[in-house]
Amino acid sequence: MEDGGLRGIALRICDWIVRLAYVNGLWLGFSLLGGVVLGFFPALRAMFVVMRKWCMNEEDFSLVPLFFTEWKRFFWQANKLGYTVLSIGAVLVLDYVIVMQLAFTGSQAVAAFLILCLIVYGLMLLFIGPAFVHYPRQSLYPFLKNIMLYAVASLSYALIMGLFLSVCLILFILVPPAAVCFGGSLFAWITTHVSLRAFERTNQLIDTTEEAETI
């Protein structure tokens, strides 16, 4: 009985290893299909779609057709969001570098503010992929504002993500080829799995508030 249980666990682990490697390969492949510059973010979103389905125990779908459909369907929307977020990060980093090289009254306060903005930006990056799949119909700027507020309000979930991602980073440093095989898919799986719990908690709080207002 115990051997059977261990065998089942081992098979399940092997199954997930194959899944994660396969999806990571699809992400890299479809990124190349779009010339990387245009293919990266649509492929990233498609990977988050797959992870969301798996985390919600949805198994009845064909992986490659689903991946391609999502890649093509949200091609421009994913690029718009991706490069907007990338530009925001680049501006924040550039501003911080410039401020640190200049000496003026209040420069330390400005630098501290920019560091705070970068921390919030980093928190937002943890949730933005799963949220883009979970709330696909929101327009760009309200979506970014809501995710920023949501990330700040979900620090406990962000810490959980950070813990698991740190373990993965250590693994990738020790075994560099693992980063090529599992880097993207592990990030997507961890952030999606934790984010879904956070979204569920938020929905429960909203339902509770609405019930209280009704009473």
Mean pLDDT by 10 residues, the chain (215 residues): 68 92 96 94 97 92 95 95 96 94 85 95 95 86 89 92 95 94 95 91 60 50
- For the stretch 117-128, what's the b/e string if a residue is b when 16 or more beta carbons lie within 10 angstroms of its beta carbon? beeebebbbbbb
Sequence-distant (≥ 6) Cβ neighbours of residue 40 within 8 angstroms: 31, 34, 82
Nearest-5° angle of CA 129, CA 134, CA 137?
100
Which pLDDT value is given to residue 189?
96
Number of domains in the chain: 1
Whole-number Å distance between alpha carbons of 176 and 77:
32
Whole-number Å distance between alpha carbons of 78 and 73:
9
Among 59, 62, 31, 60, which Cα is nearest to 45's? 31
Take residue 72 and report the two structure tokens written for it.
């093509």
Whole-number Å distance between alpha carbons of 118 and 124:
10
Sequence-distant (≥ 6) Cβ neighbours of residue 25 within 8 angstroms: 181
Which pLDDT value is given to residue 205?
57
* pTM higher than 0.85: yes
Within 13 Å of residue 78, how many CA atoms lie on the same side as its CB? 24
Which pLDDT value is given to residue 9?
85
Take residue 174 and report the two structure tokens written for it.
């020790």
Contact 127, 201 (CB under 8 A): no
Residue 42 domain boundaries: 2-214
